[in-house]
């Protein structure tokens, strides 16, 4: 009998050792002052229909990583694969076609929409670029507005005539115009009122089920991530310090930084909130222009030891089933 070898399909998106570094100039003559390592050795995979959340404080490199994946920034190093095809190794024209399968939902729907365009014109922009005929464009715009919960009568309105939640629905409709497989959601609900956030999150989850979408969900708010993510990656100073499935990370955080982020989530029960042990991180996020030589978290870590100053921790497997980069809890063998 001949053995049958089943080929495992590649992940929808794979990122290997991505780096985004920026040279900084300063001084009277504008000489080079140093290098900002906004993203430094970032890797991830996202499968079809999966939601991977990238979380961390503002300035940790989350949005920079997302922009590099989308092709809005040129990586300094690393490789990006989409359905097994290395985007940086193919001609620009083919790369542009593949990148239509990756779209973005930005944080602020006000700045994401041109105030001089009607809602219908904004949603149709990608279709115009793709040279879709006018009749097909009108039909697709009507379909998209209905898909995100907007009325056909709102087609001729302008962004300032809509609420914040409605504007974000328009942004989502535009992102879906070319039937992408992956959406990079960059803080998609942080600019919205609390009462509207759950509506947009529910919309994103419904669209994922109906259309089979995959999400890279970028957020600083773990209470939001908890409702939508399959897996969570915690970023600090351009590097991943913990990653694992969402249930494990929320129930048993392995890295002290993740513990601090989770401790900052308000609890609905006032008694539990008072009884919770507070975790206070000393100081501010270090400058990526001058990061620590050893563990990136060493300057703020409540359990640090002397060796953390010089040694860089590896992302290692934990007993909980996640992976974490902590020399104290998970020293290399």
Distance CA 105, CA 112 (A): 9
**Count of beta carbons in the 10 Å neighbourhood of residue 149:** 16
**Superfamily (CATH) of domain 13-101+180-324:** P-loop containing nucleotide triphosphate hydrolases (3.40.50.300)
Per-residue pLDDT at 136 exceeds 70: yes
Q: pLDDT for 200-237, tens place per residue?
A: 999 999 999 999 999 999 999 888 898 899 999 999 99
**Chain length of the chain:** 333
**Which ranges in the chain belong to alpha helices (H)?**
62-70, 92-99, 109-112, 119-129, 134-147, 164-175, 194-211, 222-225, 246-251, 256-263, 270-275
Q: What is the dihedral of CA 133, 139, 145, 151, to 10 degrees?
A: 130
Distance CA 123, CA 330 (A): 49
**Residue appearing with tokens 């030891």:** 305
pLDDT score for 132: 93
Q: How far separated are the first and last CA of the chain, in Å rounded?
A: 43
The dihedral sign for the CA sequence 173, 178, 183, 186: negative
Pairing of β 182-186 and β 102-105 = parallel
pLDDT score for 273: 53
This prediction has a pTM of 0.91
Q: pLDDT for 229-267, tens place per residue?
A: 999 999 999 999 999 999 999 999 999 999 999 988 776
Per-residue pLDDT at 27 exceeds 90: no
How much is the mean pLDDT over the chain?
89
């Amino acid at each position: 009998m001949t053995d049958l070898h089943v080929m495992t399909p590649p992940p929808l998106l794979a990122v290997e050792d991505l780096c985004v570094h920026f040279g900084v100039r300063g001084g009277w003559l504008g000489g080079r002052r140093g290098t900002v390592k906004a993203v430094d050795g970032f890797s991830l995979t996202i499968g079809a229909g999966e939601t991977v959340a990238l979380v961390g404080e503002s300035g940790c490199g989350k949005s920079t990583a997302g922009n590099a994946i989308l092709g809005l920034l040129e990586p300094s190093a690393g490789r990006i694969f989409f359905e097994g095809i290395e985007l940086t190794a193919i001609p620009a024209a083919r790369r542009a076609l593949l990148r239509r399968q990756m779209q973005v939902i930005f944080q602020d729907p006000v700045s994401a929409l041109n105030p001089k365009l009607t809602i219908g014109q904004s949603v149709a922009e990608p279709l115009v670029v793709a040279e879709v005929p006018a009749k097909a464009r009108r039909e697709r715009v009507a379909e998209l507005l209905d898909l995100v919960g907007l009325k056909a009568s709102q087609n001729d309105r302008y962004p300032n005539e809509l609420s914040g939640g409605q504007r974000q629905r328009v942004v989502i409709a535009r992102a879906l115009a070319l039937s992408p497989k992956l959406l990079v959601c960059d803080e998609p609900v942080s600019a919205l009122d609390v009462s509207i956030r759950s509506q947009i999150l529910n919309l994103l989850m419904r669209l994922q089920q109906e259309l089979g979408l995959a999400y890279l969900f970028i957020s600083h708010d773990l209470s939001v991530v908890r409702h939508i993510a399959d897996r969570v990656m915690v970023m600090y100073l351009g590097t991943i310090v913990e990653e694992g499935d969402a249930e494990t990370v929320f129930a048993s955080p392995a890295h002290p930084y993740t513990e601090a982020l989770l401790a900052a989530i308000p609890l609905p029960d006032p008694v539990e909130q008072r009884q919770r042990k507070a975790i206070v991180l000393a100081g501010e996020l270090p400058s990526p222009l001058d990061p620590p030589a050893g563990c990136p978290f060493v300057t703020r870590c409540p359990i640090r030891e002397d060796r953390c100053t010089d040694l860089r921790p590896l992302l290692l497997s934990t007993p909980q089933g996640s992976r974490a980069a902590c020399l104290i809890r998970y020293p290399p063998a």
